[in-house]
């Protein structure tokens, strides 16, 4: 009886496998698979049909049919075929040729180039990826200044508190290593965005590039706060409280930030110098830690 049951289950399984394969193949024919590109070109030839087209970084050329939406985060888009959905481009040039047929909306940051024969079934809308603080006049600039001031205040206090004794090393690095701090600071300030962009070109480095681009703002804020700490400690020397020392340097930098041209120059100088001082302090700390066991 057991053998008969096992044999019956095997026969049933063998009968279901071809049916399942045929169903999956028929389903693929009804619903084309999505076309996703992390970095590179995404080409849909004239005789090809795909589902949703998603490109994170790279160009997209549609001469065939897209049964879904076209979404491109960074890169140019050229459409001369059929798109049965919306076209969303967050950063890049969009060109709709005379044979293009878009059934949905066209949402872009820049104004698209539309040929006379192109057809758009929905609306053409623009997206704003950057908040225009200057559009609110002096109130917007004051709000931006307050937002940066509060953020750097919180980040700076956490930096000095978490550093502990390392804050003294940071202050010494900025006071005695001015040349290396400036050199390393310029290298980090200008080199980090370049490294992030280069990493986006490769598929392997794409996660690193995206993460580095997202962290650049915080890294720059750490450099700015490091300069505020070094400046404040130079004014209020020990045994003065470290909180008052940081507040003194932070207040000076934030007051200078209110001056239109000088404020931008001081932000660049403070951020670059602070990044370099952090690099020098880390290097000295690691060198001292390696030298201590050798001396023992």
Based on the number of CB atoms within 10 Å of its own CB, is 132 exposed (0-12), middle (13-18) or buried (19 or more)? exposed
What CA–CA distance (Å, rounded) separates 16 from 251?
Answer: 74
Q: Are 245 and 232 in contact (CB under 8 A)?
A: yes
Note the pLDDT of residue 240: 84
Note the pLDDT of residue 279: 94
Domain ranges of the chain: 33-126, 133-295
Note the pLDDT of residue 229: 94
Note the pLDDT of residue 291: 63
Note the pLDDT of residue 19: 41
CA dihedral of residues 84, 86, 90, 96 (deg, nearest 10): 60
SS3 293: helix
What CA–CA distance (Å, rounded) separates 294 from 289?
Answer: 9
Distances (CA, A) of 241 to 1, 57, 165, 174: 87, 49, 13, 19
80's enclosing H/E stretch is none
What CA–CA distance (Å, rounded) separates 285 from 164?
Answer: 13
SS3 104: coil
What pTM was estimated for this model as a whole? 0.59
Q: Are 83 and 102 in contact (CB under 8 A)?
A: yes
Listed in sequence order, the DSSP H helices in the chain are 2-30, 138-163, 166-176, 178-201, 206-235, 242-256, 260-295
Note the pLDDT of residue 276: 94
Q: Are 170 and 232 in contact (CB under 8 A)?
A: no
Q: What is the mean pLDDT of each run of 10 residues along the chain (296 residues)?
A: 43 42 42 77 91 89 93 91 92 91 90 90 79 62 88 93 87 90 94 86 78 90 95 89 93 92 92 94 80 57
CA nearest 107: which of 71, 66, 57? 71
Q: Cα 147 to the chain's mean position, in Å?
A: 20
């Amino acid at each position: 009886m057991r053998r008969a049951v096992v044999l019956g289950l095997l026969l049933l399984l063998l009968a279901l496998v071809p049916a399942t394969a045929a169903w999956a193949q028929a389903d693929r024919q009804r619903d084309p698979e999505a076309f996703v590109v992390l970095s590179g070109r995404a080409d849909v030839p004239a005789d090809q049909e795909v589902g949703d087209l998603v490109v994170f970084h790279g160009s997209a050329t549609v001469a065939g049919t897209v049964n879904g939406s076209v979404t491109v985060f960074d890169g140019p888009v050229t459409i001369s075929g059929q798109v049965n959905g919306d076209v969303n481009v967050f950063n890049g040039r969009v060109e709709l040729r005379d044979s293009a047929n878009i059934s949905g909306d066209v949402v872009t940051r820049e104004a698209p180039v539309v040929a006379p024969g192109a057809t758009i079934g929905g609306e053409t809308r623009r997206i704003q990826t950057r908040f225009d603080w200057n559009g609110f006049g002096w109130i917007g600039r004051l709000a931006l200044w307050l937002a940066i001031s509060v953020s750097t205040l919180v980040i700076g206090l956490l930096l000095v508190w978490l550093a502990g004794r390392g804050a003294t090393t940071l202050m010494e690095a900025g006071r005695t290593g001015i040349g290396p701090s400036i050199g390393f600071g310029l290298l980090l300030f200008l080199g980090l965005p370049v490294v992030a962009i280069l990493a986006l070109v490769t598929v392997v480095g794409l996660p690193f590039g995206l993460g580095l681009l997202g962290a650049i703002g915080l890294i720059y804020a750490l450099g700015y706060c490091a300069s505020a700490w070094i400046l404040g400690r130079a004014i209020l020397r020990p045994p003065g409280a470290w909180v008052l020392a940081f507040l003194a340097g932070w207040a000076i930098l934030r007051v200078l930030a209110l001056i239109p041209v000088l404020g931008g120059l001081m932000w660049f100088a403070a951020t670059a110098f602070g990044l370099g001082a952090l690099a020098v302090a880390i290097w000295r700390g690691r060198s001292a830690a390696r030298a201590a066991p050798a001396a023992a």
